[in-house]
């Protein structure tokens, strides 16, 4: 693992760049705000660790009441369990004998669950569990509008749930019903309608299963864009929001009930970068590009300057347009960027440099960075 | 470092996914083709290691005649030098006292050069070299059309070159004149005109410096999209192409002289991925998304299927559109994806799984993965 770009006790201005910065005050306010929201709503939270990939953060979330965390990959779950996280749901399909073998081994070290959406894969997981003498929690994933994984709600979902429930080594734990594409619908009412639709499909599936005597202990879903709708739905009981701890440009573009930008949570994650070139008045060049921040949701936003935009990014450079600005920006100056999309940005770094005010208070390893399988 | 997703001797079909695959036969043909081209053109090559971040590949390039490699970051250079690469040019500005200190330390272990485009930064590097009793090679970077770093050619470039030449601890080694944005101009003639323009600005600067008795030992630039133009220019003498070893969807979209897609080099780099869900006939879902391939130049291409496209990617999923296809694609099947952009894709992985035919022949660590500072 790469050495951290800072030392504890250092001033922020002395941190080497590019670095991934966590503003601890803002981060802790986000953690506490979600914990309070969840307690008030009477549901559980199992935050998504694909956002942070960090055992320190997972433990902080659990200390505030989270029942565990989610991961998308077996290797991610492995990294977190090995760093002491006791309860991880792989909120995703696990396909292939090698991955399934690792999942089984992991379930001896911690409470581990997995999602399924295919009869053959379910049978393979059941056989592997039987061979190891393990019983594993299984959620059936249903597609409630995202158009990605998950069986259609209705007869296919019921058939898969019956298969799980009738396999001794699989414990049917409920439904995974995440509506991913609803997270980024900007309009509040429209976002609410998407979740109403998801909740209604989910409720029908839960009720059909109940009529057959198959109970859904867990009905899981929700993200940072929609959690209040799932919390109020009366059907979801375990929320999987992840990005609320950091926020990003994309989530901050969502609108609230009044049509104003979403302010439930604050930006606490920044890519810290140095101006490495100022060749002409109109242009500054940053030492952070495609390898320091993700651009799938657009360019990062300059946190400390009005009317100054990151115009484009190449592999190791970010070009800043100063045409419309009189900002004093010189070679060696350091700036904070708000990532367009937090999850894939985090995955580019090995360390969080955690600052309180201007002082580096902690360095947290991103233990599941790069855990793609 | 994460463990590799394969074992030597394994069949490709058994490699865990997502994995970064190098087709060794195609890769070696690319290496040899460029070495032959360069020898025929009578110039030098110093391939860009920002593409591969791998000491094994750097050594293979040097074994075929490369004079050394380029990097964009001090930490990248450090990782390669520590893995035995003897000659690295940081083809970029190095700004900040911590980075400069590391550059100086590195120059005791290998031949190391650096680029400058600012008088203050040049003075700081000079002072650091003096304090350490080191003499370091410096190229003055000029902006020949890319609109990124580099001083404008002309008086500013001459002034900076004089400053370098008159500083005892800095050895003026020549000019860095890379035209980045020309690499992706699709039309051959238009691409050639962009480099004609860059070469003409560069030549004028070289000649002005010569009139003052300042010789440019090295005139560096070029990439995979334009190398033949710089090679033929009569002014560039050291080419910095990187992507030719792997190719990607973006470079394969460039056109040659006849208007046909560019075929000088072959695709040798693939992201290997498993179909993890096939919930409906029209859709398959891959276990590779934004954390397994870069999308800044668009979606990856399915290497083994006609008329099947990766429609969209989320963090850990790639959604494949099978609407117009009768391809037989089931859960557990593995597919090869050609990345849209090779450099930032490589940076997401820790290992190259190198295959010859269907057998894993080697595992090469991506030692400079994540070296962003």
Question: CATH number, domain at B66?
Answer: 3.20.20.10
- B47 within a domain of the structure (yes/no): yes
Q: For residue B209, give how far its alpha carbon lies from the nearest alpha carbon of chain A (Å).
A: 20
Q: What pLDDT score does A2 carry? A: 86
Minimal Cα–Cα distance from A73 to chain B, Å? Answer: 8
Is B251:B242 a contact under the CB 8 Å cutoff?
no
Question: Would you say residue A104 lies in a domain?
Answer: yes
Total count of residues recorded for chain A: 373
Q: Are residues B62 and B153 located together in one domain of the fold? A: yes
- pLDDT, tens digit, 9 for 90 and up, residues A147-163: 999 999 999 999 999 99
Segment (H or E) for A61? helix A55-63
* Residue that has been written with the tokens 């040019």 in this structure: B89
pLDDT (mean) for B65-88: 98
The distance of B211 to chain A (nearest Cα, Å) reads 25
Q: What is the pLDDT of residue B102?
A: 96
Q: Are residues A220 and A194 in the same domain?
A: yes
On the 0-12 / 13-18 / 19+ scale of CB atoms within 10 A, A311 is middle
CA closest to B318 among chain A residues: A148
Q: What is the mean pLDDT of chain A?
A: 97
pTM: 0.97
Instruction: Give the domain CATH number at A332.
Output: 2.40.37.20
With 80 as the cut, is the pLDDT of residue A289 above it?
yes
Q: What confidence tens digit (pLDDT) does each residue in A44-62 have?
A: 999 999 999 999 999 999 9
* Res B324 pLDDT > 90: no
Token pair for residue A184? 């980024």
pLDDT score for B328:
85
Predicted local confidence at residue B274, as pLDDT:
98
Q: Which of residues 188-247 of A touch B (CB under 8 A)?
A: none
Rg (alpha carbons) of chain A, rounded to whole number: 22
**Boundary of a domain, candidates B213, B247, B281:** B247
Q: Are residues A276 and A220 in the same domain?
A: no
| Domain final residue, candidates B247, B282, B313 | B247
In a domain, B29, yes or no: no
Q: Is the domain of A313 the same as that of A214? A: no
Assess whether pLDDT exceeds 80 at residue B371: yes
Write the pLDDT tens digit of every residue in B281-294. 999 999 999 999 99
* Interface residue A344 vs chain B (CB under 8 A): yes
Average pLDDT value for residue range B54-75: 98
Determine the pLDDT at residue A324: 87
Structural domain for A184, as ranges:
25-250
Say if CB A162 and CB A214 are below 8 A apart.
yes
What residues in B contact A279, CB-CB < 8 Å?
117, 143, 149-152
Range A257-269 average pLDDT: 93
> CA B315, B316, B320 angle in degrees (round to 5)?
105
Within 13 Å of residue B371, how many CA atoms lie on the same side as its CB? 24
Judging by DSSP bridges, how do beta strands A318-321 and A309-313 pair with one another?
antiparallel
Coil/strand/helix, residue B149:
coil
First to last CA, chain B: 18
Per DSSP, the three-state class of A174 is strand
The answer on pLDDT for A182 being more than 80 is yes
Chain B residues 281-310 within an 8 A CB cutoff of chain A: 283, 285, 287-288, 290-292, 294-296
* A257 belongs to a structural domain: no
- pLDDT, residue B263, reads 85
A187-232 residue pLDDT tens? 999 999 999 999 999 999 999 999 999 999 999 999 999 999 999 9
d(CA A24, CA A21): 9
Task: Say if A1 falls within a structural domain.
Answer: no
Residue B28 lies in a domain: no
- Of B247, B274, B304, the one marking the end of a domain is B247
Is the same domain home to B308 and B176?
Answer: no
Question: Comparing C-alpha atoms, which of A232, A125, A283, A250 is closest to residue A180?
Answer: A250
Please, what is the Cα angle at B370 between B368 and B373, to 5 degrees?
A: 90
CB nearest to B315's CB, from A72, A75, A147: A72
Count: domains in chain A: 2
Same domain, B296 and B228: no
Which of A17, A277, A372 faces B18 most closely, judged by CB atoms? Answer: A372
Q: B324 and B238, same structural domain?
A: no
The answer to whether position A3 is within a domain reads no
Q: What is the mean pLDDT of residues B207-235?
A: 98
In a domain, residue B272? The reply is yes
Per-residue pLDDT tens digits for B240-270: 999 999 999 999 999 999 999 988 899 999 9
pLDDT of residue A353: 98
Instruction: Give dist(CA B99, CA B73) in Å, integer.
Output: 9
Asked if B53 and B200 sit in the same domain, the reply is yes
Nearest CA in chain A to B121: A331
Same structural domain for residues B63 and B108? yes
The pLDDT of residue B354 is above 90: yes
Mutate which of A176, A184, A370 to disrupt the B interface (most B C-beta within 10 Å)? Answer: A370
Q: Distance (Å) from the C-alpha of residue A247 to the closest C-alpha of chain B?
A: 16
Q: Tell me the ipTM for this assembly.
A: 0.96
CA angle at residue B147 from B145 to B151, to 5 degrees? 85
pLDDT band at B307 (very low <50, low <70, confident <90, very high): confident
Residues B203, B105, single domain; the answer is: yes
User: Do B242 and B356 fall within a single domain?
Assistant: no
- For the stretch B114-155, pLDDT in tens is 999 999 999 999 999 999 999 999 999 999 999 999 999 999
- CA dist list (Å): A92 to A363, B2, B330: 30, 21, 17
Contacts of A2 in chain B (CB under 8 A): 75, 370-371
Residues B188 and B101 reside in one and the same domain: yes
């Amino acid at each position: 693992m790469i050495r951290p770009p800072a030392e504890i006790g250092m001033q922020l201005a002395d941190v080497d760049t590019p670095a991934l910065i966590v503003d601890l005050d803002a981060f802790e306010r986000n953690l506490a705000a979600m914990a309070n929201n969840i307690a008030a709503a009477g549901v559980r939270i199992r935050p998504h660790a694909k956002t942070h990939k960090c055992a320190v953060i997972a433990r902080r979330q659990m200390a505030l009441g989270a029942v565990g965390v989610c991961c998308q990959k077996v290797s991610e779950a492995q990294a977190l369990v090995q760093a002491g996280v006791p309860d991880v749901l792989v909120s995703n399909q696990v396909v292939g004998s090698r991955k399934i073998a690792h999942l089984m081994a992991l379930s001896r070290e911690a409470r581990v669950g997995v999602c399924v959406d295919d009869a053959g894969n379910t049978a393979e997981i059941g056989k592997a569990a039987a061979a190891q003498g393990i019983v594993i929690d299984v959620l059936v994933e249903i597609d409630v509008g995202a158009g990605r994984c998950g069986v259609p709600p209705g007869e296919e979902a019921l058939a898969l749930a019956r298969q799980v429930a009738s396999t001794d080594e699989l414990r049917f734990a409920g439904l995974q019903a995440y509506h991913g594409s609803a997270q980024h619908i900007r309009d509040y009412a429209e976002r609410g309608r998407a979740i109403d639709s998801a909740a209604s499909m989910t409720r029908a599936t839960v009720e059909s299963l109940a009529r057959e005597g198959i109970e859904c202990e867990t009905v899981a879903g929700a993200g940072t864009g929609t959690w209040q709708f799932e919390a109020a739905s009366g059907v979801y009981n375990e929320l999987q929001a992840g990005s609320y701890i950091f926020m990003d440009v994309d989530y901050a573009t969502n609108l609230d009930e009044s049509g104003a930008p979403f302010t439930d949570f604050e930006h606490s994650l920044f890519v810290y970068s140095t101006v490495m070139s100022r060749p002409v008045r109109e242009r500054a060049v940053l030492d952070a590009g495609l390898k320091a921040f993700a651009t799938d949701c657009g360019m990062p936003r300059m946190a400390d300057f009005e009317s100054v935009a990151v115009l484009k990014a190449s592999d190791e450079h970010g070009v800043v347009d100063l045409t419309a600005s009189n900002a004093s920006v010189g070679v060696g100056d350091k700036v904070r960027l708000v990532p367009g999309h937090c999850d894939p940005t985090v995955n580019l770094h090995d360390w969080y440099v955690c600052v309180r005010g201007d002082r580096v208070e902690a360095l947290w390893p991103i233990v599941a960075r790069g855990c793609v399988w």
